[in-house]
Chain A
């Protein structure tokens, strides 16, 4: 009996080995990119808006009165914008959601690491009222690098500058259409130059000098309903960019 059971055991072991090898082979074939590429749809670019509430922590930004600092206004508005974007089913992330200080390099690194589709930096300032939309100011001769493996840090925006300007222009047009004073221009403003995605900066100028000197608080300076309607408007313009950005234009 013993002599008979040994070949059976060997056969069993061999069968298990064959089954195991076959399973591994199937798994490898399914997960091999070249094979999968023939079967699967081309991967769709994730649409992520990264919002940068400027300043924070020991850096208050502009001081509008004894109790009102730019850093508080930017954070309040950034939160509203995130909520409006999320309401439109758009993924949005804040670079800071509390009163912490981040360097401009840290902001650009965070946006690039998150692979932002669109980067929006929020500022608030005098004079006038309305929204000023800024894009990066790069020297005329800087063009998108052919080799995308390494991008110079100071001009990482070059490849996306055209799209940044298009988005800024559409935003200014839409704000005008809705009766909000708006202007667009280039500015040497960090961290725009180092963001490797379409990037704009907004300066909310909804504070009058008179109100600021009267010592009104940040919440009062940009009234909640004004913030909400502005955030909604900006979110709708960003949402309209989704098809173009997802198709990799």
Chain B
């Protein structure tokens, strides 16, 4: 006959083992899902119909440490948010191609751009954009500068830009460039002008 207190202890241990097992299983599934999302290189938004037009990209050249303007074609919907997203997606696609003057990982993309109060653009990048971004002060800053300056060149009504990742705030892009501030477009434009 097993003593009562031993029975209780064994039951509690059994419950704990089953509980931990279930928790581990859920955790593993969650991690798998997050990894799948991070490595998902499919397009995050449907292709936009509408007229295409010429846009100007501020392209970063890491090796030379400068910015140069480049013309490109992009779909230009009338909605400011959609238009901004298409402009930035065109920019990011320049960087994900090989060879690139400022290489970004394939799968990097812009989830969405929300234009608030007419002058604030909230740029939501996907997880792969930030998680696989090369780490370094210069390379991270150049990505931010390039995105903000490209918006400034094509959407002059945008005066401030906030960058988020997968709908959430993030402290740095890849360990260096500070993503916490709302960037002043005029200040970034001045910084880029000094690097042209």
Residues of A within 8 A of B (CB): 55, 59, 61-63, 70, 123, 125-128, 132, 134, 137-141, 154, 183, 185-190, 193, 201, 203, 205
Contacts and interface: CB of A to CB of B under 8 A. Distances in A.
Interface residues of B, number: 28
Interface in B165-196: 171-172, 175-178, 180-181, 183-184, 186-188, 190-191, 194-195
Contacts, number: 78
Interface of B: 62-63, 65, 134-139, 141, 144, 171-172, 175-178, 180-181, 183-184, 186-188, 190-191, 194-195
A189 B187 contact: no
A184 to B, nearest CB: 9
A132 B64 CA distance: 12
A183 B191 CA distance: 13
B175 A187 contact: no
Nearest to A136: B178
A127 B137 contact: no
Contacts of B176: 123, 125, 189
B141 A188 contact: yes
B130 to A, nearest CB: 15
A126 B103 CA distance: 12
Nearest to B186: A140
Nearest to A183: B65
B126 to A, nearest CB: 21
B183 A140 contact: no
A188 B178 CA distance: 5
A154 B137 contact: no
Given A188-B178, A190-B178, A123 B137 contact: yes
A205 B194 CA distance: 20
A140 B184 CA distance: 8
A187 B65 CA distance: 13
Contact of B137 (A59, A125, A139, A141): A125
A187 B191 CA distance: 8
A201 B137 contact: yes
B184 A187 contact: no
B191 A125 contact: no
B141 A62 contact: no
A61 B187 contact: no
Contacts of B194: 185-186
Contact of A134 (B137, B144, B175): B137
